[in-house]
Structure 1
């Protein structure tokens, strides 16, 4: 005997399944982000595979519904989707150890294979959930007389569920519970609604499958137990990334995003300078301007730059005031707790860097752009000629813009493109190989930069070593030098593609 449902149950059912599809899409992005980032390429693959899975699910779901329009089959489909969804974190534990060295130090073959392996794992549950809508419509009684209206209502409830799944996941479960918890929550919801639909059949015992996500949730997991071998002292899935704070035997505290392709902030014992820290080069900038008073850091992360300025520079420039702008509110809370930032060191603002600079009326002597998304990507809207021009309007007459670019060589197309764009916005532009393996600092100004004021740095100061490096490293940018670069604009700024091609090109050559 075929199992039929009341229309009210079908409305609730498609609401839950619709929400689950969108929750799974967002969870897929967060699942992959720690290892592959969230570039346009990653999102294109996620969305493309999910759309393909949905298309096949709609097509096959409609054919199955015509051949066997039985509610039991529909419940078994959604229950299977719920079980498969709950297994996703387990699959991740099998795949991600292959990337234990991070995307910057793993072979191209492993990166590509594991990426598509994870995507393919997300495809089956999405495919099964896509079968729900045509199946549910087929179960509407033929004598209802308002099948069109009911079908429209079912799609409306499914879309409303997708809306709730989108906002509930993005602003609720992921930042407050976590990605694993989000996956288990929605898999449990799918299993529960399916078990309820089977409650009057001999298959009601399948409700025991609800134990699967609960048991897996309490199973040991150490996917992010360590970063670069350092013990983790704090971790959270924020609105923007997976954030960890590590502390090692050298008494170094580090801020690490996602799989650890780069350290976003570091505090060394006694805030010591280090030949591998490009942050130290920024400390010379106040000496290159007249009586600097306002210093702006766009992308302050753990507050390393404001803290070092307060310790090494502010004693010479007591009127210097630093403002740090950071988009992630959870990261701002870490500055004082783990990285030693004192209340008087800086004023911290929680805002997108470009939104801030576009709306402030304040003028600055120095603006630093040190914002990165998913550890290796410069946000495209913080790399354009228009963005640099906006900063130029916020600089004092002898003000200066400085930005850090990670590049494997001076000829990297990413670096050359950033240089070309900066040169288009500022009449005087320079590049310097900063401390650190892959760090280059670009400088833009409306007046020539004179290094003579650096002689004011006391020979006994820790900054003296950096001062001695600059004369041989600072080079004006020429037209020939930037000719092969891409002029980055708000309309076209392929910074993600330039970064990916640089990384994969380096991996292939090695």
Structure 2
């Protein structure tokens, strides 16, 4: 192979590897720190700095070491250091996962910086490749212009490196082994730049060590010994755990519980049961209201759906869950009410918009950690929900609020109130969960109180319903609508509001 072609192949492979490392690092870090914009900005910004340093060093290095084997050594070293990223970063992230629930911000911040620094050396080395290769091309073929084709090769490789981890490597192998695969690929790629067989031995030995690390390095997430399932999907780390007879669905390394199931326990005293309160806002009655069709956006493991069927056994449920791995886990581990259920792997907003069904209840339960997808809390979204509700239909939304001063809860409440005629809030006891109820008809707390009075003394109705209504009666409020911005598709700063909520909680933390 001609030197020019070998150089182009190296540049292409390193371009692919640099973006693959960036995408894989983003997934690895977001499993603990979430995938919000501030985290993405920190990752991308630091990597751009590393690449810039590498660009500056690359031409200077080649000015003194202008041979193809020296270029290959840069690739080899980048591959070795890439293999070490998960070895160093995983213990740090495991510590961060413990410290985040303790609101230990200094330690969490230092760990975050430390994890970003583990990316520095391999990314600096990869940043050196293109300017170093350009120097070699100009020395070998001074009469030809090589910059354009080198940049094209690097950019094309970067395009491939953006897609491969997200759509294949991470879902298939997980982020840890994806790093090891990228590192092994770089070590193998370095062989292209060798000029003698004598140099081959060291490269192949390091490749063998990388492959052994790939085979034997533990790929399971930290603290996952009790997991029934642990898999990295296109979107997140999906974990199903067994604890004291409870089956629990957790996403990423966080401490939150997305879904819960126990074969002998009905009431989990969380936000899921409050779907049962929704039908009782319309009017006072001494018999169960009719509930025909329900949509659940952010279905997860289907806890709310199971609770609903216990009281309304004839109901039809359309579930929307964007993550196919979560859907598979729900079917495998959470005893779904399959006869009542149509479960789609789809974005909740898109699925609801495409549905032709009129719903008596629309539940939105897409909150993860402190954040909610922006497209599920804007005026435009609430108008879609409003148009899909029946005459007596109610929307309820599970929202995370970590303090009495909760800007995100206020913004969502204010935005919902701009679309619906009536809105109510309920804080779930002993939790950071708020439930927002919204409807297109006038209602009051007194209607819920009267319905509870009618049902609480009767033996005909499940205790699950009566306990749920009791919680609503004791905590339901019709709040004053705070002034401030309305969330729209064009302007929905939900991450900033969520961060402000978190900072308020930190300031009040003892």
Q: Secondary structure at the match of 2:435?
A: strand
Partner-residue secondary structure (3-state), 2:260? strand
Query: For residue 68 of structure 2, what is the aligned residue in structure 1?
Result: 71
- Is the 1:336–1:342 Cα contact (8 Å) retained in structure 2? no
CA contact (8 A) 1:65 1:138 kept: yes
The equivalent residue for 1:235 is 230
Task: Give 3-state SS (helix, strand or coil) of 1:178's partner.
Answer: helix
Deviations 1:211-267 (A, max 9, x none): 33223223453762536xx7111110101101110012x210000111133111000
Q: Distance in 2 between matches of 1:118 and 1:106?
A: 19
What's 2:275 paired with?
282
Q: How far has the Cα of 1:72 moved from its partner?
A: 2.2
The answer as to 2:96 corresponding to 1:99 is: yes
Aligned residue for 1:291, secondary structure, equals: coil
Match of 2:239 in 1: 244
Cα deviation 1:280-308 (Å, max 9, x = unaligned): 12122234455221111000001111111
In structure 2, distance between residues paired with 1:242 and 1:407: 23
Once the two structures are superposed, residues 30-67 of structure 1 have per-residue CA deviations (whole angstroms, 9 ceiling, x without a partner) of: 11012101000000001111111111111221222233
1:351 is aligned to: 346
Match of 2:166 among 166, 170, 175: 170
User: Counterparts of 1:411 and 1:305 in 2: how far apart (Å)?
Assistant: 28
Distance 1:456 1:26 in 2: 56
Closer, same or farther: CA 274–142 of 1 in aligned 2, 3 Å: closer
Q: Matched residue of 1:226: which SS?
A: coil
CA contact 2:321–2:344 (8 Å) conserved in 1: yes
| Contact 1:388 1:425 (C-alpha < 8 Å) held by counterparts | yes
Instruction: Name the structure 1 match of 2:154.
Output: 158
Within a 5 Å distance, the mapping from 1:119-134 to structure 2 comes to 119-134=116-131
Are positions 1:43 and 2:45 aligned together?
no
Note the C-alpha offset of 1:177. Answer: 1.4
SS in 1 for 2:221: coil
SS in 2 for 1:16: helix
User: How far off its partner does 1:503 sit?
Assistant: 2.5
| Distance verdict in 2 for CA 1:294–1:120, change over 3 Å | same
CA distance in 2, matches of 1:474, 1:52: 51
Shift of 1:106: 4.0
The residue number in structure 1 matching 2:109 is 112
Paired residue for 2:286? none
Unmatched runs of 5 consecutive residues or more in structure 2: 283-288
TM-score (norm 2): 0.92
1:401 maps to 2:403 = no
Equivalent positions of 1:174-213 (< 5 A) are 174-198=170-194, 200=196, 202-207=198-203, 208-213=205-210
Q: CA offset at residue 145 of structure 1?
A: 5.7
Cα distance in 2, alignment partners of residues 14 and 492 from structure 1: 40
Give, in whole Å, the separation in 2 of the partners of 1:504 and 1:103: 13
- Work out which of the residue numbers 324, 327, 344 in structure 2 matches 1:329: 324
1:83 to 2:80 alignment: yes
Aligned to 2:285: none
Deviates more, 1:237-246 or 1:87-96: 87-96
Q: Distance in 2 between matches of 1:182 and 1:309?
A: 41
Would you say 1:339 and 2:320 are equivalent positions?
A: no
- Does 1:392 find its partner at 2:391? no
Distance in 1 of aligned mates of 2:497 and 2:337: 38
Q: Would you say 1:258 and 2:256 are equivalent positions?
A: no
Closer/same/farther in 2, CA of residues 445 and 23 from structure 1, 3 Å limit: same
| Change over 3 Å in CA distance of 1:472–1:308 after alignment to 2 | closer
1:133 deviates by: 0.6
* Contact 2:291/2:312 (8 A) holds in 1: no
**Which of 17, 24, 27 in structure 2 is aligned with 1:27?**
24
Mapped to 2, the partners of 1:15 and 1:457 lie a distance apart of: 69
RMSD: 2.1
Offset of 1:456 from its aligned partner? Answer: 5.4
Q: What is the TM-score of this pair, normalised by structure 1?
A: 0.92
Structure 2 distance, partners of 1:36, 1:102, is: 11
Q: Offset at 1:134?
A: 1.0
* Contact preservation (8 Å) 1:245, 1:255: yes
Q: Quick one: distance in 2 between partners of 1:344 and 1:186?
A: 45
Distance 1:325 1:456, change over 3 A: farther
- The number of residue pairs the alignment matches comes to 494
Contact kept, 8 Å, 2:416 with 2:438, in 1: the verdict is: yes
Residues 35 and 102 in structure 1, CA contact (< 8 A), matched pair in contact too: no
- For 1:385 and 1:102, the matched residues in 2 are separated by 36
1 CA distance for matches of 2:290 and 2:431?
Answer: 32
The DSSP-based 3-state class of the residue aligned with 2:258 is strand
The equivalent residue for 2:292 is 293
Q: Give, in angstroms, the shift of residue 142 of structure 1.
A: 4.2
SS at match of 2:339: coil
Helix, strand or coil at the partner of 2:134 = helix
Distance in 2, Cα, partners of 1:66 & 1:454: 82
Q: Measure how far apart 1:189 and its partner are.
A: 0.8
1:303 aligns with 2:302: yes
1:15 lines up with 2:12 in the alignment: yes
Match of 1:489 in 2: 488
Segments of 5+ residues of structure 1 without an aligned counterpart are none
